Amino acid sequence: MSDQLIECIPNFSEARRSDIVNEIIDSIRVISNIEVLDFHSDVDHNRTVVTFIGPPSAVEEAAFQAVKTASKLIDLDHHTGSHPRLGATDVIPFVPISGVSMEDCVQLCHHLAKRISNELSIPIYLYEEAALKPERKNLERIRKGEYELLKKEIQTNPERKPDFGPTKLTTAGATIIGARNPLIAFNVYLDSDNIQFAKSIAHKIRESSGGLPSVKALGMMVNGLAQVSMNLTNFNQTSIQQVFEAIQAEVSNLNIKIHHSELVGLVPQDALNDTAIRFLKLDDFKEDQILEKHLNIKRPSSENNNSDILEEMASDKPAPGGGSAAAFTGAMAAALVSMVARLTIGRKKYVAVDAQMQEILAQAEKMRYQLTEYVQKDSEAFQKVMTAFKLPKDTAEQELIRLKEIEDSTYEATQVPMQVAQWSVLVLALSERVAALGNINAITDAGSAAALAMASIKSAGYNVKINLSDLADGVTLERMQTQINQIEQRAIKLEQLTLNTIKERGNI
């Protein structure tokens, strides 16, 4: 992973055909240096939201390939769903994470818009920070009337002329591209099948109608229930709890109840902490009172605690070994990144980087949990190799089966530490960002995170290389050798960058 990271959250107009959704997601996953963090499909919306992260060039390529794939597989003339949409790929927001500015994301938007319009003949509209026209900053204004109205007006109404591309729609529709800060997608379901209730509540709470600041809302039907679908563009201005309470007040007036709520995609940890604090009316609450703040990593799926893992590593058993240690160390590095981010968020001195820190925190927590899972996965992969070697080999047929099992299990045992190395490079990149932007009082913690992430990468690399030596497939061996070498080279550069940052900013 690069030290420059951008998050991309494309929305596709398909959720009912899983084969198409999977093909679109696969077109993203195959791009080098891209990590798909999450996806959410809603069959009533008939919409899938994917979240992925990577360096700028890789993110742009992944977005382009996803648009290309969706344009071939989704026909808007035959699309139905409760969520407004203009295209097969409806909207593509880019969010700066680390090493990039909002302006960098804006330039990426413009470049991608030109490429999609030129190569795929899809009209492109730019919104939020990437908008070329002030009236197009608002997504809802661009999407007015949806695909069906745009199809009629794009050729005749000058106000509907796209920013890039033809003034004619194909069945792929149009795509909206923009750059923005992180938001929370939050939906509340009413215990009613009256859509007018949801529309009325959405009208009252959204900012554009004079409601809550930083809240966008629509009323629609989902799973037979009326739903208030929202985007919270700044949870520090209006929290999840405040929105929920506002809707609660409205449903009481209508003599109905809230059925349930849901979050779509990823959400910053602090947004949930804030909600819990507000709901419980905790007085003088401090972050240090959160148990997980005092733990290095999440409890592994094996239900062992940290002391148990260390005891097992110190025993005469071959697993957990170096691969598990690499994952454990990477998780600790991610935990320190989270700590520095939390010590920065909400401080007046660092208000300019608050949004970046919120997103860094969300990503660091995702990485921490993922790396923790690999502590157990590495041991399981090793056990599979040992089991394969013990298979019977008395006949030629048995020997063929045994050799195939050895090859397959060895490949898996190589993949696990490779993934640990990939995640830890990403942690290392975030370490540099919190060192450069975070609370100066925690700069040595950022440096410690970088040192731990580097140790994780080196340890994982050893395990990749020892397993590669047992692979019979020369092509796979060469490809993976190149891959781990590239990861290690990127890590060396990131480590040096972090050291320089700490020396300059921390005067150490």
Neighbours of 424 (CB within 10 A): 33
What's the count of helices (H) and strands (E) in the chain, helices before strands? 14, 11
Q: Which two tokens stand for residue 370?
A: 């993922």
Token pair for 461: 């690399």
> Among the options 83, 163, 270, 274, which is catalytic?
83
378 an active-site residue?
yes
DSSP lists the bridge partners of residue 222 as 225
CB within 8 Å of 318: residues ≥ 6 apart: 382, 386
Which of 90, 274, 378, 445 is the catalytic position? 378
Distances 63 to 76, 83, 146, 165, 344 between C-alpha atoms, Å? 19, 21, 22, 17, 31
C-alpha distance from residue 44 to each of 200, 219, 327, 464 (Å):
20, 13, 39, 44
Beta strand residue intervals within 109-183, DSSP E = 124-128, 175-179
CA 284/CA 358 separation, integer angstroms: 22
Kindly report the backbone phi and psi dihedral angles of residue 240, in degrees, each rounded to the nearest multiple of 5, phi listed first. -55, -45
Cα–Cα distance for residue pair 123/117, rounded to 1 Å? 6
Are 12 and 3 spatial neighbours (Cβ–Cβ below 8 Å)? no
Q: Which two structure tokens, joined as six digits, stand for 447? A: 């440096």
Element housing 341 (H / E):
helix 322-344
Cβ–Cβ under 8 Å, residues 389 and 79: no
The separation between the first and the last C-alpha atoms of the chain, rounded to the nearest angstrom, is 27
φ, ψ (nearest 5 deg) of residue 6? -130, 140
Cβ-contact 378, 420 below 8 angstroms: yes
> For residues 12 and 24, what is the distance between their CA atoms, to the nearest angstrom?
9
CA dihedral 127, 133, 138, 143 (to 10 degrees): -80
What are the DSSP calls for 456-486, one per residue? HHHHHHHHHHHHHTT---HHHHHHHHHHHHH
Residue 83 annotated as catalytic: yes
Q: Tell me the residue type at 98.
A: S
Q: Over the Cα atoms of the chain, what is R_g?
A: 25
| Helix, strand, coil % in the chain, rounded to nearest 5 | 60, 15, 25
DSSP 393: -
Q: Which residues are catalytic?
A: 83, 378
